[in-house]
Chains A and B, each alone.
Chain A
Amino acid sequence: MTARIGVVTFPGSLDDRDARRAVERGGAQPVELWHDDASLRGVDAVILPGGFSYGDYLRCGAIARFSPVMGEIIPAAAKGLPVLGICNGFQILCEAHLLPGALTRNAGLRFVTRDITIRIENATSAWTRSYLPGQDISVVLKSGEGAYVADQETIAKLEANGQVLARYASNPNGSAGDIAGVVSEAGNVAGLMPHPEHAVEDLTGPSADGLGFFTSVLQAVAVS
């Protein structure tokens, strides 16, 4: 049976369409989820896409974290539901305390759109098991508040536990430890600043390397 993967649309979500296309190219069925509906419609996994949810008012992700759909996602994630937050989705997961740390203004203070290389550090998570450990992939970074920060203790714990999901080959925004993405201890909740959904075909992206995130989750869903 085809896996059903929910993509949440918040007011101000922008990459929801791209995420649904990536889900489809990965071989699953995309399901539209609405921020104001306290329902996950029985999906097998959830993606929080990029954008400027609620206009980034207050702080990126700070309002989205309290939306009705998040009220469903937070307990489901604790029970093992695979959740991937991309860019603004990563910010929302941090605000929701499903992932440690926070995303702050880029070191250069300007918005940066760039084709970049990241290294997959953890190839066992629900979202990265299609990759090889240490594999370099080419994806898109596009963010103004993409610098990952956390206190030293948290960073040390992330490193020790293998919770660093991916690292920048060349740090574009001042992220601590070159961290591009992190994953929960249980390995089901992942946050990634760059955009794998913009790298699912050579025609419109820098590569098709990002597809691995969307095929990985199929294996994870099949196993569970």
Chain B
Amino acid sequence: MTSPQDTVLPAVQDTVDGAAVTPGRAQPYAALGLTAEEYARIGAILGRRPTDAELAIYSVMWSEHCSYKSSRRHLRQFAEKAPPTDVLLAGIGNNAGVVDVGQGYAVTFKIESHNHPSYVEPFQGAATGVGGIVRDILAMGARPVAVMDALRFGPAGAADTHRVLPGVVGGISFYGNCLGLPNIGGELAFDPCYAGNPLVNALCVGVLRHDDLKLAAATGPGNQVILFGSRTGPDGIGGASVLASASFGGAGEGAKRPSVQVGDPFMEKLLIECCLELYRAGLVVGIQDLGAAGVACATTELAAGGGTGMRVRLDAVPLRDASLGPAEILMSESQERMMAIVTPENVGAFLAICARWDVPATVIGEVTGTGRLEMTWHGEQVVDIPPGTAADEGPLYDRPASRPAGQDALIAAGPAGLARPASGAELRADLLLLLGSPEGGDKTWVTEQYDRYVRGDTVLAMPHDAGLLRIDEETGLGVALATDGNGRFCQLDPYAGTQLALAEAYRNVAVTGARPLAVTNCLNFGSPEDPAVMWQFTEAVRGLADGCLQLGVPVTGGNVSFYNQTGGTAIQPTPVVGVLGVHDDVRHRVRSGFSEPGASIVVLGETRPEYGGSLWAWLRHGHLGGRPPAVDLEAERALAGVLTDAAARDLVVAAHDVSDGGLATALAESCLAGGTGCTVTPPPDAASFLFSESAARAVVAVRPAAAAELASLCAQAGVPATVIGETGGSALEVAGLFSVPLAELAEVHRAALPALFG
């Protein structure tokens, strides 16, 4: 792998005129990540070889990360199979999807990966992952109001995890806390498959009024192009192409450190407040954040979005390093920058607001009527391209996909033969094994480093199933958000596994009392050039599109992260699904903890002996095989309806999703979260009762006075409801089998991460 320094371009600039008369000059297209065919196609588009600056633009815009060249063909299903809906104000293809949540409010949300940077440089990689997704939300015209993060690492005990995890968590804490955005949830998982390739997926949600919606389009010839925020430096050059769109070689990744950006959350905080003031003052015609591919991406997308053309003076871009040339300026991924289109008469007012917030702002060009994206460097033309060819018409691949050779054997090696616990002592030991593991243990070591209170509207955060935010103090309108993914399930069956991730996030939103409304996703996979990975990907996308259609929740946008592998070994396919729900009145929110004695505990949904891909099979036996739990999306929809109605009528005093680690884990978590014990009576198959991971289930606590109404609600909806016991006491007791005092449960649960990470 060539390091980005090899691509530094000569001081004498390669101009458009010069390129026309030197057709044979060798160019470093391969080092920039382009194939010979792609390079030839650029020549065909331009009718000459590209200049070095043009090559820089095409190389980053046609990277897998920016162009979705291997995935676009499949992602179309999200539009083709979209359920009929009137809640989408802006959909796929924008910086983030925008959803109508009523009362004149809209919400925009998106999840994005920053996996490779976070492995190379954990602290800055994760920090700038937060910064990037926050600017996507800001660019839609919204005030960012919260973040979440879904994290996956190698084995918790591995030495490299001790380098990566504290750095990633520290980076998210540093950046998110300094921005004043509450961190309201996420995930933390461990598996050997992520050892050389951790997953750091960051989600941001923002709120706007319907009229505030902004789009990335450079319209109105004569309008000015303003770059504002941090100065441009030599950091993150080629981040989208050489870092995000290639597999790791297995050693020497430190050489890629210059491709990781460096974050300044203070500047980002100023940028947020500055943008919101600019929006309020009505000074912005179009806006785009600078993320992957920096100025190259912002200019091509704005110009392609507006359709009329744009001229940019690259020498006007304020620099942190005066030695940068046009190609480096175009490719730099320096953080905390935005680009706006402003009418000439408003430029003065625009710059004044930037000055008030101490945000540097510079006019670097104007919208034209030529239809071309043109750029000059000290008067000489270095770029002249049709912007759509870089932004929207990149290469499109139909990569071969084939079911992996070992898939049948994996499914055949099911969990049926695994020794299951039977005696009280065995069942008790297995519960404590799960609860004390890094996977099943308390996540406070991580979440305590995040501010969840700032802005004063956090109604629920960790350890609840979903984050819940208040939007309107008068009416109580709010939104709930959850992210879920399960690499083990997806390894066994990527179609079903992705639907299970969708179903779990959908359910997690519903247990708070919110109505699931829309979906975002971050699809983490290995190399698309591997047909087995491509099969996993196509199955996952098909599963998600079909599942969203059946549940009636549209996909609003998302992100694909390929090349998550070191050498030839890919990660487990790990689509992470985020579901947004609307809560009509957050004062009726339901918490996950048992906080009062004397309530009946009811399991909603059906429990079958399903152990394939379960946490129990993995932790007790190191086993992964068979089929994941059965998917029944109609049952999920009915369950969510019951949970939402029960919350609105104040029928339940607690509700908790049953998933990883089964009912045993759910009960233990509810006891610990609310500080009240419980006694439950198991059926004959106590092991499945406690550890099976059958989907479409939740556990609720209901006061005796409301029990009949809940039962009738369930009966109407066709949701099985089984009373299994009662809250109270100071132990988790499984009648006739075992009992664990809450103090012991808490000690085991809380010790898991501190024991490893200090």
Residues of A within 8 A of B (CB): 11-12, 14-15, 17-18, 21, 36, 50-52, 54-57, 110-114, 140, 142, 144, 195, 197-198, 200, 203-205
On chain B, the number of residues with a Cβ less than 8 Å from chain A's Cβ atoms is: 33
A57 contact from B266, B449, B451, Cβ within 8 A: B266
Cβ distance B467 to chain A, nearest Cβ, rounded Å: 12
Task: Given A52-B178, A111-B451, A142-B451, output 12 extra A-B contacts at Cβ < 8 Å.
Answer: A11-B266, A11-B270, A12-B269, A50-B454, A51-B180, A55-B264, A110-B448, A111-B449, A113-B447, A113-B452, A204-B458, A205-B453
Q: How far is the CA of A21 from the CA of B455 in the complex (A)?
A: 10
- Pairwise interchain contact B454-A18, C-beta atoms closer than 8 A: yes
- Verify B456–A11 contact, CB threshold 8 A: no
Q: Are B266 and A52 in contact, with the CB atoms below 8 A?
A: yes
B456 touching A21, Cβ below 8 Å? yes
Q: In this complex, what residue of A is CB-closest to B169?
A: A110
Q: Are A111 and B266 in contact (CB under 8 A)?
A: no
**Contact A113 B455, beta carbon cutoff 8 Å:** no
Interface presence of B495 (CB below 8 A): no
Q: Can you name the residue of chain B whose Cβ is closest to the Cβ of A203?
A: B459
- What are 22 A-B interface contacts by the 8 Å CB criterion? A11-B270, A15-B180, A17-B456, A18-B456, A21-B456, A52-B177, A52-B265, A55-B264, A56-B178, A56-B266, A110-B170, A111-B451, A112-B449, A113-B447, A113-B448, A113-B449, A142-B451, A144-B177, A198-B456, A203-B459, A203-B470, A204-B470
Scoring B266, B453, B587 by chain A CB atoms within 10 A of each residue's CB, the highest score goes to B453
Q: Which residue of A lies closest to B178 (CB)?
A: A52
Minimal beta-carbon separation of B445 from chain A (angstroms): 9
What CA separation (Å) do A204 and B173 show in the bound complex? 20
Residues of chain B within 8 A of A15, CB atoms compared: 180, 454
B377: CB under 8 A from chain A? no
CB–CB B266/A55 < 8 A: yes
**In contact, B265 and A198 (Cβ under 8 angstroms):** no
B450 touches A (CB below 8 Å):
yes
- Least distance between A201 CB and chain B CB atoms (Å): 8
Q: Is B358 an interface residue (CB 8 A)?
A: yes
Chain B 177-193, CB-CB to A under 8 Å as 1, else 0, gives 11110000000000000
Interface residues of B in 577-621 (CB under 8 A from A): 586-587, 589
A197/B180 in contact, CB under 8 A: no
Is B457 an interface residue when CB atoms closer than 8 A count as contact? yes
When chains A and B are docked, how far (Å) is the Cα of A110 from the Cα of B172? 12
When distances are taken between beta carbons in the complex, the residues of chain A under 8 Å from B453 are 18, 113, 140, 142, 195, 198, 204-205
Q: Within the assembled complex, what's the spacing in Å between the Cα atoms of A181 and B590? A: 35
Q: What is the distance, in angstroms, from A112's C-beta to the closest C-beta of chain B?
A: 6
Instruction: Indicate whether B279 reaches chain A with its CB closer than 8 angstroms.
Output: no
- The distance in angstroms between the C-alpha atoms of A24 and B177, with both chains bound, is 25
For A142, the chain B residues whose CB sits under 8 A away are 177, 451, 453-454
Q: Are A204 and B459 in touch, CB under 8 angstroms?
A: yes
A56, A57, A111, A197: which contacts B456 (Cβ < 8 A)? A197
Known A-B contacts A55-B265, A113-B452, A142-B451; the reply to A11 vs B358 at CB < 8 A is: yes
Q: B229 → chain A, closest Cβ, in Å?
A: 14
Contacts A11-B266, A52-B266 given; does A114 touch B358 at CB 8 Å = no
Q: Are B454 and A14 in contact, with the CB atoms below 8 A?
A: yes
Cα(A143)–Cα(B138), bound, Å: 26
CA of A84 to CA of B751, assembled, Å = 38
Q: Please indicate the chain B residues that have their CB under 8 angstroms from the CB of A57 in the complex.
A: 266
Q: Kindly list chain B residues whose C-beta atoms are within 8 Å of the C-beta of A56.
A: 178, 266
Q: Does B357 contact A (CB under 8 A)?
A: yes
Among the listed B174, B448, B452, B470, which residue makes an inter-chain contact with A112, where contact means beta carbons less than 8 Å apart? Answer: B448
* In the complex, chain A residues whose CB is within 8 Å of the CB of B458: 204
Output the residue of A11, A140, A142, A204 with the most chain B CB within 10 A: A204
Partner of B587, one of A50, A200, A203: A203
The 7 closest A-B pairs by CB, nearest first: A55-B266, A14-B180, A18-B456, A198-B453, A52-B178, A111-B449, A142-B451
Q: Mark B149-182, 1 if CB is under 8 A from A, else 0.
A: 0000000000000000000001001100111100
CA distance A112 to B170 in the complex (A): 11
**Cβ-defined contact, B173 with A111, below 8 A:** yes
Residue of A nearest to B473 (CB): A21
Contacts of A205 in B (CB 8 A): 453, 456
Contacts of B357 in A (CB 8 A): 11
CB distance from A51 to the nearest CB of B (A): 7
Which of chain B's residues has its CB closest to A53's CB? B266
Shortest Cβ distance from B20 into chain A, in angstroms?
48
Task: Tell me, rounded to whole Å, the shortest Cβ–Cβ distance linking B84 to chain A.
Answer: 35
Q: Which residue of A lies closest to B457 (CB)?
A: A204
> With A and B bound together, what is the CA distance between A55 and B175 in angstroms?
11
Q: Which residue of A lies closest to B757 (CB)?
A: A110
Most buried by A among B265, B452, B455, B586: B455
Give the Cβ gap from B336 to chain A, nearest Cβ, in Å: 11
The answer to whether B450 and A113 have CB atoms under 8 Å apart is: yes
Task: Specify which of B178, B264, B267, B454 lies most central, judged by the most chain A CB atoms within 10 Å of its CB.
Answer: B454
Q: Find chain A residues with CB under 8 A from B459 CB.
A: 203-204
| Bound-state Cα–Cα, A78 to B130, Å | 42
Docked Cα-Cα span, A216 to B574, in Å, equals 53
Residues of A within 8 A of B451 (CB): 111, 113, 142
With both beta carbons as reference points, the residue of chain B lying nearest to A142 in the complex is identified as B451
Q: Which of B177, B179, B270, B586 contacts A111 (CB 8 A)?
A: B177
Residue in chain A with minimal CB distance to B451: A142
Q: Give the shortest distance, in Å, between B118 (CB) and chain A (any CB).
A: 18
Contacts of B266 in A (CB 8 A): 11-12, 52, 54-57
- Give the residues in chain B near A54, CB-CB below 8 Å: 266
Q: Do residues B449 and A110 form an inter-chain contact, with CB atoms below 8 A?
A: yes
Which of A12, A36, A140 lies in contact with B178, CB distance below 8 A?
A: A12
Q: How far is the CA of A56 from the CA of B175 in the complex (A)?
A: 13
Cα A14 to Cα B177 with chains together (Å):
9
B758: nearest chain-A partner, CB-CB = A108
How far, in whole Å, are A117 and B170 apart by their CA atoms in the complex? 26
**Which residues of chain A are within 8 angstroms of B269 by Cβ–Cβ distance?**
11-12, 14, 52
Proximity string of chain B (407-450) to chain A, C-beta cutoff 8 Å, 1 when within and 0 when not? 00000000000000000000000000000000000000001111
Question: Interface centre among A114, A195, A198, by most B CB within 10 Å?
Answer: A198
Contacts of B264 in A (CB 8 A): 55
Distance (whole angstroms) from the CB of A95 to the closest CB of chain B: 17
Question: Quick check: A114 and B270 within 8 Å, CB to CB?
Answer: no
- A50 CA to B267 CA, complexed, in Å: 17
List A contacts of B455 (CB < 8 A). Answer: 17-18
What per-residue 1/0 map shows which CB atoms of B707-741 lie under 8 Å from chain A? 00000000000000000000000000000000000
In the complex, the chain B residue whose C-beta lies closest to that of A34 is B356
Of B180, B449, B450, B459, the most chain A CB neighbours within 10 A belong to: B180
Complex Cα spacing A58 to B357, Å = 19
**Distance between Cα atoms of A220 and B447 in the complex (Å):** 38
Could you tell me the distance in whole angstroms from the C-beta of A152 to the nearest C-beta in chain B?
30
State whether A203 touches B178 (Cβ < 8 A): no
Give the distance in Å from the alpha carbon of A197 to the alpha carbon of B455 in the complex: 10
- Asked whether B456 lies within 8 Å of A204 as measured between CB atoms, the reply is yes
| Interfacial chain B residues near A12, Cβ < 8 Å | 178, 266, 269-270
Query: Which residue on chain B has the smallest CB distance to residue A115?
Result: B453
In the complex, chain A residues whose CB is within 8 Å of the CB of B589:
203
Chain B 517-558 residues near chain A, CB threshold 8 A: none
Contacts of B270 in A (CB 8 A): 11-12
Assuming the contacts A12-B266, A113-B448, A114-B448, asked whether A55 and B178 have C-beta atoms less than 8 A apart, the reply is: yes
Distance in Å: Cβ of B583 to nearest Cβ of chain A: 12
Q: A11-B270, A55-B266 are in contact. Are A203 and B586 (CB under 8 A)?
A: yes
Task: Tell me the minimal C-beta distance from A19 to chain B in angstroms.
Answer: 9
Q: How far is the CA of A11 from the CA of B269 in the complex (A)?
A: 8
Q: Considering only CB atoms, which chain B residue lies closest to A52 in the complex? A: B178
- The A-contacting residues of B in range 605-643, CB under 8 angstroms, are none
* Cα–Cα distance between A114 and B177 once the two chains are bound (Å): 14
Q: Which residues of A contact B173 (CB under 8 A)?
A: 110-111
Chain B nearest Cβ from A197, distance in angstroms: 7
User: Once bound together, how far apart are the Cα atoms of A15 and B180, in whole Å?
Assistant: 8
Residue of B nearest to A20 (CB): B456
